[in-house]
Structure 1
Amino acid sequence: MMTKAEVLRDVTVGRVSLLIADGDLRRIRFDGVEVLRRVSYPVRDEGWGTCPVVTLAEAVEEGAGRMSYERRFAAVDGRFGGVFRAEVAETGDGARLALSVAMDAPQEVAVNRAGFTLLHPLEGVAGQALTVMHSGGKKEETVWPSLISPSQPAFDIAGLAHEVAGVRVAIAMTGEVFEMEDQRNWTDASYKTYCRPLALPLPYALGPDAPVRQGVEVRLSGRALPAVSGEAPLRGVVPEVAVAMEPGLAAAVLPFPVQLRLTPGDAVPDLAGPVQLEIVVNEGLDGLEALARDCARLDVVRVTALTAPYLKSHQPEGPWPAGPKPMDLVPKLRALFPQAAVGGGVLTNFTEFNRCPPDPALVDFATWGGTAVVHAADDLSVIETLGALEAVFASGHALAGGKPLHLGLFSIGMRSNPYAAECVANPALDRIAMVRDDPRQVGRFAACFAVGVLAAAVAGNVASLALAMTDGPLGAVGPQGVRPVFHVLRFARGLRGQAAVAGLDDTVTIKAQSGGIIAALGDGVSLPQGARGWLLNAYSETCAQRADWLDMPSQNLGGVRLSAFDLAFLTGALP
């Protein structure tokens, strides 16, 4: 789903269709088959934040069998500017897209990235054959990764050739050396071809002596294969849903299992229910024993510990932090918490888990967390991350070696930033990447996102996970009362352990034995006849600030049509 404010134009040229949104080309299709998810040209600063830009002018010209688009843009602070041009034209056997970007800066600007980024879709691509053309002219035959690759699947890229559901795709790049990463590591539903290579020194200069001049040509041909219908439903069991807590963000103790993160010296809160304990210590493990004694009054059912350097991201080839490795802490945890299951993994994203997985022989469970705004933060990009979770959970199971997945916090905003010193400040509450304070957390959007994560967790055989923190920027409770995501947690608590069928599309559904949740990511969804329950929409959102909103009498919702980001909590078996 894409909000109208984000879409400039829908474009169709012969067998090609695409969206132009905020200056980028998105959802590029040929014969209805998605061949590129997005073409963008971001500038990333020294902390990997995306430099905001404004559009100075743009124009679209359409004619018989062709379209051209031009956008002139500049950094909000005026430090650089540029122009992006795109031409789409029919050819004898298909279509050709000719793209170019030029950027200039009057003074040197330190950047980690500047230029084209191509996002390749997953459907019809994952596990399929791929030809890579290198800068020296050599061709390499390989495959798109099926399980998520911890390192770059391809280096030194000058061109790519592959096939998607019968459509042949040939891409050529000029002006820079490109490489590829598996963006599913960060729950982006794509592979990404980008410049410049990470092995080169960072940051580098964009300036008078180092302008950007890049080109991409995409040729499309062939015929789309007939669509396959009747996919098997996604079946599983509703996992345990928890809230995450930590000092300074735990003013509200909610009636859910708790994932508690502590550092030696922190005050240990009084909690009555089961606790999954996450401990962060220094390399000397100072204070770990004292913290364990302070936690003796808690019902610690699971525990994980990491040294602080492992809260940051490291490339697969290293260098890795000195001092104790994560598996070195496991025997000490078993001695200090003899009644608890001891886990392994990370307290950040699947990226870091994939690069430093636990030894399944040494741990009882595996853990990591997730955020939706590492690379992009517009509504469409956030929703698209839900499509990567199937692969994330499958890859996690493969690394966990049969041990259960008791996962951490999955939210829109970042709990912490493994890629920079801190999350990007967001006082204006904009939709920008790498922030903790995301404006959607307070509303129904975050609740729908949480339902999407939960649906993927049902299908992905996840044992437990957190869908919000207690309060604060990522909280289920705010100054005005509970937020919509609170009701997702509460309703899911009643479904825990039940067999369920999940659906994850424009409408997210979780159908269990005693009820279900339906979340609309787009317009035009009608509830089944005979449905009863509670409707959370723009009209009921104020009333739903009460924690006991789901205790109110249920309503007949049969035939009710949901708008985007409405939710329905339904009782009884669903059709």
Structure 2
Amino acid sequence: MKTEIDPFQLYGTRELETPPMRLTSGRLDVDFKDGNLRTIRYDGIEVLRAVSYLIRDRDWGTYSPGIDDLRIEQRHDGFFVSYLARCAGPENTELTVDVRITAQVDEALIFEATVLSTTGFETNRCGFCILHPIVGVAGMPVSVEHVDGSSESTHFPDLIEPWQPFRDMRAITHSVVANVTAECRMEGDTFEMEDQRNWSDASYKTYVRPLALPWPYRIPAGKPMRQRIVLTIGDMRRLPPASTYGSEKTPAVGLSAGARSGFMPSMGLVITPEEADATPAARDRLAEIGPQELLFHFDPDAGHGADAFRRFAAVAALHPGRSTLEIALPCRQTPLVETQQIAGWMQAAGFKPDAIMISPSVDRQSTPPGSKWPECPPLEEVYAAAHAAFPDMRIGGGMLSYFTELNRKRVPAGTLDFITHCTNPIVHAADDLSVMQTLEALPFITRSIRAIYGDKPYRIGPSTIPMRQNPYGSRTMDNPRGGRIAMANIDPRHNARFGEAFALGYAARVLDAGLECLTLSALTGSFGLIAGANEPSAAGAKRPLFNTIATLSRLAGQQWQECLSSDPSAVLSFTTARSNGLRSLHLVNITPIPQLVELGEFRLKEQRGNKRLMLDAYSTLSAELMD
């Protein structure tokens, strides 16, 4: 008898997501979930990743409106959906969205919405977002029709575009497969596209209301606003009616050796002043993990001062490896004055890291298109001050926030010893599928960094599921109930098998970037590998993520070899080899369902040569290979 896995083990919460409802119209099928459309496919090929009607608050947080009067009809020749979405804003304001979704065989899919507020409603965005997938689409030809009626033939960006690749959009048409096209027409407002890979989203996002217009803005009371999305599939093939498509049987995922190889990066853990005092009590756990790098975070704007370095020195004394201090420089005085003051505090505390990562504090805040860049000293002056204040240390730069900010403000790297940035998977969406899909974007991010900075030593992190800072609003979102919330500073999945699978999937996706160091967690606290005293589990208990980080730490410096997966949206893998020639296979299932894996040429010692194995939901496996 099959035993069901406790959702708490998988997600850190027993609150399950509402499963999507599959709706079909001939060769077209969609997943209807929470009032929106996901995974829109034609003949099993993903055409659009999503069509959603979204309402954002002034901090770019996404409202979760209540849905009333939901009506869903699956017909033999298509489907029909209607509902009312009601949204409550601050100061007793309200908004209602009247939605209709229709599809019929050989006709367009139409998603239309009318919004009305009786009170007026403040928002940063209210309208449709359309997501195009990136796999198989990046760099491919596309036709864009503009609001003035003109058209251009161009390409989806391959390297990640820092600003909007397409503006003033009315329609966009791309090829799905040979002789099959998809036109997405957007009516009711002016749309533009941003390259969401900047934020590690696995999509190009076309959204309503250009960012150059002021925000937040107010929807006037009593004035209806209408928008409509029309998806038209053009199929020039001559095919018989589909007969077998729609089978729910999941094929086995096949593995095969790839050509790429390299060396595993060092692994880091971030230490903040707030968590530094908890680290000595967890010294045995720290030794068990064995990270190569400790990344100490110092931010005077968060109240960090001279006493932080005494704490850092105590932690560094427990660690035989390297250490880096990341500094969010306030820039209220000259960079030289501030860096020399910090250097004096460090010397007095006996804290001497191997490297400094320095960035103006203000650069953590995003500067959207059309916005004024904040006042900031020239980065050349900041880096020169760091070299003067810390003459015996490597100096790194980049961004303490995300790739987005680094792509938009490309630092002068000539005097830097390394480049670094972070990523976060819950900037725009926090459902399980969207979070795991962000792994698809990571190779595009690392390839874009290499295109900008060449062979400069490169680090990533801290990159965690919960968000440690919000460049796009005034705060990260509190999450006292442990839900799936975008931009939340606590996420339950970090504590569960989901977080373990995400971390190993992350490492697999960035292998060929040649990273110097990868940091995916802290030791303690809400970003940590062990539970705190106020958590349901015993204080100091290992979170599942502990296993992945400890494994990756042991693998640091070993040679990795590419291992190709027939379905990288389900299973990711790679092999490693130790200096004595022993090889290991590393697998991760990044889906909520068990996956049957065909091992191909690989044979695991513990499997006694078996050619297949079953990977449970969100599970990882590291095992020695037979000679």
* TM-score, structure 2 normalization: 0.82
Q: Does 1:20 align with 2:32?
A: yes
Q: Look up the match of 1:85.
A: 100
> Secondary structure at 2:79's aligned position in 1?
strand
1:324 CA drift (Å): 1.1
Where does 1:144-293 land on structure 2 (aligned, <5 Å)? Answer: 144-166=156-178, 167-222=180-235, 232=258, 235-250=261-276, 251-252=278-279, 254=286, 255-256=290-291, 257-264=293-300, 265-266=305-306, 267-268=308-309, 269-270=312-313, 271=316, 272=319, 273-283=321-331, 284=333, 285=335, 286-293=337-344
Deviations 1:295-348 (A, max 9, x none): 354452322212221110113665222231333211121222223222221000
Q: Look up the match of 2:77.
A: 65
1:349 CA drift (Å): 0.6
Q: Which amino acid letter does the alignment assign opposite residue 241 of structure 1?
A: M
Distance 1:556 1:448, change over 3 A: farther
1:224 CA drift (Å): 8.3
Q: Which amino acid letter does the alignment assign opposite residue 573 of structure 1?
A: L
1:258–1:275 Cα contact (<8 Å) kept: yes
Q: Look up the match of 1:444.
A: 497
Where does 1:426-465 land on structure 2 (aligned, <5 Å)? Answer: 426-465=479-518
Distance 1:211 1:259, change over 3 A: farther
1:4 CA drift (Å): 7.9
Deviations 1:388-416 (A, max 9, x none): 00101100111113202112211111110
Q: Look up the match of 2:573.
A: 509
Q: Look up the match of 1:336.
A: 389
2:117–2:222 Cα contact (<8 Å) kept: no
2:403–2:422 Cα contact (<8 Å) kept: yes
Once residues 420 and 31 of structure 1 are traced to their aligned partners in structure 2, the CA distance between those partners, rounded to angstroms, is: 40
2:36–2:51 Cα contact (<8 Å) kept: yes
Instruction: Report the structure, 1 or 2, having the larger helix content.
Output: 2
1:280 CA drift (Å): 1.2
Distance 1:224 1:294, change over 3 A: farther
Once residues 291 and 388 of structure 1 are traced to their aligned partners in structure 2, the CA distance between those partners, rounded to angstroms, is: 37
Correspondence for 2:131 among 119, 122, 129? 119
2:211–2:370 Cα contact (<8 Å) kept: no
Query: Greater relative contact order (Cα 8 A, min sep 6): structure 1 or 2?
Result: 2
1:145 CA drift (Å): 0.7
2:437–2:569 Cα contact (<8 Å) kept: no
Q: Does 1:485 align with 2:545?
A: yes
Once residues 24 and 460 of structure 1 are traced to their aligned partners in structure 2, the CA distance between those partners, rounded to angstroms, is: 35
Give the superposed CA RMSD.
2.7
Where does 1:269-418 land on structure 2 (aligned, <5 Å)? Answer: 269-270=312-313, 271=316, 272=319, 273-283=321-331, 284=333, 285=335, 286-296=337-347, 297-298=350-351, 300-315=353-368, 319-418=372-471
Distance 1:511 1:312, change over 3 A: same
> Secondary structure at 1:293's aligned position in 2?
helix
1:512–1:574 Cα contact (<8 Å) kept: no
> Secondary structure at 1:333's aligned position in 2?
helix
1:239–1:457 Cα contact (<8 Å) kept: no
Q: Look up the match of 2:55.
A: 43
Q: Which amino acid letter does the alignment assign opposite residue 373 of structure 1?
A: I
1:223 CA drift (Å): 5.9
Once residues 98 and 489 of structure 2 are traced to their aligned partners in structure 1, the CA distance between those partners, rounded to angstroms, is: 31
25-34 or 207-216, which moves further after superposition? 207-216
Distance 1:510 1:133, change over 3 A: same
1:189 CA drift (Å): 0.4
231-240 or 496-505, which moves further after superposition? 231-240
* TM-score, structure 1 normalization: 0.89
Once residues 515 and 175 of structure 1 are traced to their aligned partners in structure 2, the CA distance between those partners, rounded to angstroms, is: 55
1:119–1:193 Cα contact (<8 Å) kept: yes
> Secondary structure at 1:80's aligned position in 2?
strand
Once residues 170 and 176 of structure 2 are traced to their aligned partners in structure 1, the CA distance between those partners, rounded to angstroms, is: 20
Q: Which amino acid letter does the alignment assign opposite residue 325 of structure 2?
A: L
Q: Aligned residues: percent identity?
A: 31
1:566 CA drift (Å): 2.0
Q: How many residues align?
A: 548
Q: Look up the match of 1:525.
A: 595
Deviations 1:364-388 (A, max 9, x none): 2111001100000000000110010
2:186–2:228 Cα contact (<8 Å) kept: yes
Distance 1:493 1:221, change over 3 A: same
2:431–2:484 Cα contact (<8 Å) kept: yes
Once residues 205 and 351 of structure 1 are traced to their aligned partners in structure 2, the CA distance between those partners, rounded to angstroms, is: 27
1:483 CA drift (Å): 1.1
> Secondary structure at 2:506's aligned position in 1?
helix
1:114–1:212 Cα contact (<8 Å) kept: no
1:150–1:316 Cα contact (<8 Å) kept: no
Q: Which amino acid letter does the alignment assign opposite residue 246 of structure 1?
A: T
Once residues 145 and 238 of structure 1 are traced to their aligned partners in structure 2, the CA distance between those partners, rounded to angstroms, is: 29
Once residues 113 and 144 of structure 2 are traced to their aligned partners in structure 1, the CA distance between those partners, rounded to angstroms, is: 22
1:530 CA drift (Å): 6.4
Distance 1:532 1:212, change over 3 A: farther
> Secondary structure at 1:477's aligned position in 2?
coil
Deviations 1:163-219 (A, max 9, x none): 133221112111111111000000000000001111111111124244331001111
1:414–1:434 Cα contact (<8 Å) kept: yes
2:145–2:171 Cα contact (<8 Å) kept: yes
Q: Does 1:573 align with 2:611?
A: no
1:232 CA drift (Å): 4.7
1:441 CA drift (Å): 1.1
Q: Which runs of 5+ in 2 are unaligned?
A: 1-9, 240-253, 281-285, 533-537, 578-582
1:225 CA drift (Å): 13
2:169–2:191 Cα contact (<8 Å) kept: yes
